[in-house]
Amino acid sequence: MKSGYVALIGRPNVGKSTLLNRMLGQKISIVSSKPQTTRHRILGIKTTDQAQILYVDTPGIHRAASRALNRYLNKAATAALTGVDVVVWLIDGKGIRGDDRLVLEKLKRLNVPVILAINKVDRVKDKKQLLPLIAEASAQYPFSEVVPVSALKGTHLEVLEQAIVRHLPEGPCIYPEDQLTDKPERFFAAEIIREKLLNLLGEEVPHRLTVEIEQFKEEGNLVHLYAIIWVEREGQKRIVIGSKGVLLKKVGQQARMELEDLLGRRVYLNLWVKIKKGWSDDERLLQQLGYVD
């Protein structure tokens, strides 16, 4: 039996959360087209007959670290590299560029096997185009293995998992075999609400909002959820609510349906939009809002 921690790292929007969900066969990490969707380290546990793989999804490492929230995201991603047994670095088929180079510099400080996963190969028509990229990447770092994948389509994910298991240390399971994650239900409730906001809003507001579960109360087959959507300005509050409350109502409907599937119970969801000026650039407020990985 093998078991160990596997960090999934890369720049924003390279597909780490999609990969985690596909590897587990179940959604535990929210996904959107917006950068910096993942804001916390999220543990996903997969147990097979041969191994227990503890995947660690991380925020995207990026250069724009001027605000406290951005600095927190980079710190959370970097901290996830401490104490892991294997690292999977995700890039896409377009090559190593921009924030990828920040990740590469962090890899050079590690002393664990690093697997390069070239994601989104479903978008590369001529797969021979990947050969120069593999050669370029291998010249910059001695990767233990290189695996082209498509997290979205599920291409070569079995090959990637086999590569990961080859480099895990021998040892017993660390978590019970039926456990999927270490996060509580209220964490996923907040994340699901935030995902619906990310998918329904434009480009500006998502980076200035966060969701806090004020109350999570269970009564038999019914869960009462009271959530606050925090924004920084009055204008953002109006956008989130929408004309005559239409957008907020749609967020509530979509979130409630997914929460009922997740929890296996009926959900009464109450959403409030409130203003907390400058929360994303205040380390004390970030901690109060749960950014304490």
Looking at the structure, tell me whether residues 115 and 223 fall in a common domain.
no
Is 95 part of a structural domain of the chain? yes
Looking at the structure, tell me whether residues 20 and 156 fall in a common domain.
yes
How far, in Å, CA of 124 to CA of 149, rounded? 11
The pLDDT value given to residue 65: 66
Is 177 part of a structural domain of the chain? no
Q: What CATH number is attached to the domain comprising 240?
A: 3.30.300.20
Tell me the C-alpha to C-alpha distance, in Å, between residue 158 and each of 58, 88, 141, 201, 278: 21, 14, 24, 35, 44
Phi, psi dihedral angles at 83 (to 5 degrees):
80, 5
How far, in Å, CA of 293 to CA of 73, rounded? 9
**Domain span at residue 93?**
2-167
Looking at the structure, tell me whether residues 51 and 140 fall in a common domain.
yes
State pLDDT tens for residues 40-87: 999 999 999 999 999 999 999 998 767 899 999 999 999 999 999 999
Of 38, 85, 43, nearest to 62 by C-alpha is 38
Looking at the structure, tell me whether residues 160 and 189 fall in a common domain.
no
Looking at the structure, tell me whether residues 59 and 131 fall in a common domain.
yes
Q: Which of 103, 133, 167 is the last residue of a domain?
A: 167
pTM: 0.93
195 C-beta neighbours (distance < 10 Å), count: 22
How does residue 33 score in pLDDT terms, banded at 50, 70 and 90? confident
Contact residues for 46 (Cβ-Cβ < 8 A; gap 6+): 23, 24, 52, 53, 55
The pLDDT value given to residue 217: 95
Is 293 part of a structural domain of the chain? no
Looking at the structure, tell me whether residues 143 and 14 fall in a common domain.
yes
Looking at the structure, tell me whether residues 147 and 204 fall in a common domain.
no
- Judge contact between 118 and 148, C-beta under 8 A: yes
Looking at the structure, tell me whether residues 21 and 157 fall in a common domain.
yes
State pLDDT tens for residues 236-275: 999 999 999 999 999 999 999 999 999 999 999 999 999 9
